[in-house]
Chains A and B, each alone.
Chain A
Amino acid sequence: MSNPSKNGARRLMRLTPTNAFIELGDSLGLWRLWLSMGWSDIKQRYRNSVLGPFWLASGLALTIAGMSLLYSQILHVAFQDFAPYLAAGLMIWSFIASVATESCHSYVLAEGLIKSLQVPYFVYIFRVVARNLIVLAHNLVVVAIIWVVFGKVMDIKPLETLAGIALLTLFSIGMATVFASLGAMFKDFIQIVTQVFQILIFVTPVFWLTKAISPRSAFLHLNPFYYLMEVVREPLLGTTPTAFVFTGAVGFTFASLIAGIIAYAVSRKSVVFYV
């Protein structure tokens, strides 16, 4: 584990992308710190509550139960096929949307720490992503129960699912870094993100099936969340994502990480003055 204070002098140098990479490495080394911050956020949110983070999971379970009954009739899909599809989709979407909205405030809410500690800012990004991965793990319990009920457990492709979650996580880190900087500089940004993601859930195939529209549709091709949704959902449901989907997910992940590094390097010197 690196000692952040040893890097104090280094971090004061003029900001270049290389410098952001160094801070990224330092922050990864501080994994104990951001992991414990993420855990303690969750503990504080659900302090003295009986179900704790499983309240989120139970909310997910209720939504799935209600919507699967309705939508399987609207879309003329068998209930036992639609319920798992919706469960996986909602679980993945709630991860993406929470990271997006919460990351806008990842610097702003850490004001006291940012103004007093020599800790590279990626720590505050990782904290938000780690916190949401913990929530995702709780939601996975709901998914697991549904898979058991519908006898789909043997269909899961575990390695591909893990690879998909890894891609999704990396994509989220890039996105969160961009949103954290923008959220610190522009106080309106979080409102925009919240509203846009409320629309995006309907544009992204969460409630509807991809085969219901043309595979050439822009709603699929131009939507990064479509690819990242599919690389996790498909192996969970027992299919392998097409090379096209996989390439798209990798491409958007790279784009997101590059955008994150640039946003970090550009805003690094100003963030402390704007939180």
Chain B
Amino acid sequence: MSPERLISLRGVTVDLPVQETRARSLRKAALGIAVGGVLMRSRNDQVTVRALTQINLDAHNGDRIALVGSNGAGKSTLLRVLAGIYPPTSGTITTSGTISAVFDSSLGLDMNLSGYDNIAVACRYRGIDRATMESLRPSIIEFSGLGGFIHLPMRTYSLGMMARLAFAVTTSMTPDILVMDEWLATGDAAFMEQAQSRLHELVDEARILILATHSMSLVKTLCNKVAVLDHGRIAYFGPIEDLPPGVYPPLA
């Protein structure tokens, strides 16, 4: 039996409107009525960037997919589509299972609250109920290695300390599908090592991992498939070892 398909993208195209060049004012909309007789005529003149073009992608149980490509190739946009944050302009996406996405580690945290209280805040944003949060909290605190600092307001923390706590929170639950943008850059060497091993554990437990990264060592140690994005199109998607030469030189 072939492994269960959990994610399916068919012809997904995403156009991002460029805000500055479109006159998003009621005056322009009103002028549109006067000139063209159609509300929001200015929409026709709107400049958009096609971030993703006709993406087809299937992910099955057990896939660890590295999303690679140059800056602006569409990695982050694709991750946001997968996480259900960007609706595709056209095409369809079907997913099953719980999805956890990590884009911004300090997201929504209240700098005036202690790290201890922010664990509750972060869990609430991620739909984790109170009882589960309470049971997870001791291990989150322990993993963060913050010790007594956990009871101080977060504005007293360094960036590295925030990253530790954020990482501990976001990796405390195992989703079916884990979507991650590379954001591990902060943190000292000891923590990086600790984080890497936690990531390995998590990847073992999650059914699908999709990781956007520029770190080839991370790709080689964590992933079994690679999707190469080039100007919003998928240049290659398949096992890393089958990657044709020349498609993505850094991995060759």
Contacts and interface: CB of A to CB of B under 8 A. Distances in A.
Contacts of B107: 112-113, 116-117
A138 interface: no
Contacts of A118: 83-85, 99, 101
Given A5-B98, A12-B87, A273-B16, A32 B130 contact: yes
Given A12-B84, A274-B24, A40 B127 contact: no
Interface string A37-72: 000100110010000000000000000000000000
Main secondary structure of the interface of A (DSSP, over half): helix
Given A44-B110, A116-B101, A118-B83, A9 B27 contact: no
Contacts of A268: 87
A40 B84 contact: no
Interface size range of chain A in the complex = 35 or more
Nearest to B100: A5
Contacts of B24: 185-187, 274
A32 B17 contact: no
A1 interface: yes
Given A8-B83, A116-B101, A1 B19 contact: no
Interface stretch (B118-126, B191-199, B206-214, B229-237): B118-126
Given A12-B93, A116-B104, A186 B26 contact: yes
A5 B99 contact: yes
Given A112-B107, A116-B103, A186-B26, A12 B112 contact: no
Interface string A8-25: 110110010000000000
B94 A9 contact: yes
A112 B121 CA distance: 15
Interface string B82-102: 011111100001111011110
B23 to A, nearest CB: 10
A119 interface: yes
What 5 A-B pairs are tightest by C-beta distance, nearest first? A8-B84, A3-B127, A4-B127, A116-B103, A9-B95
Interface of B: 16-17, 19, 24-27, 29, 80, 83-88, 93-96, 98-101, 103-104, 107-108, 110, 112-113, 121, 124-130, 175
10 contacts: A1-B129, A4-B127, A5-B175, A8-B84, A47-B112, A116-B104, A117-B125, A118-B101, A186-B29, A274-B24
Interface of A: 1-6, 8-9, 11-12, 15, 30, 32-33, 36, 40, 43-44, 47, 112-119, 185-189, 192, 268-269, 272-274
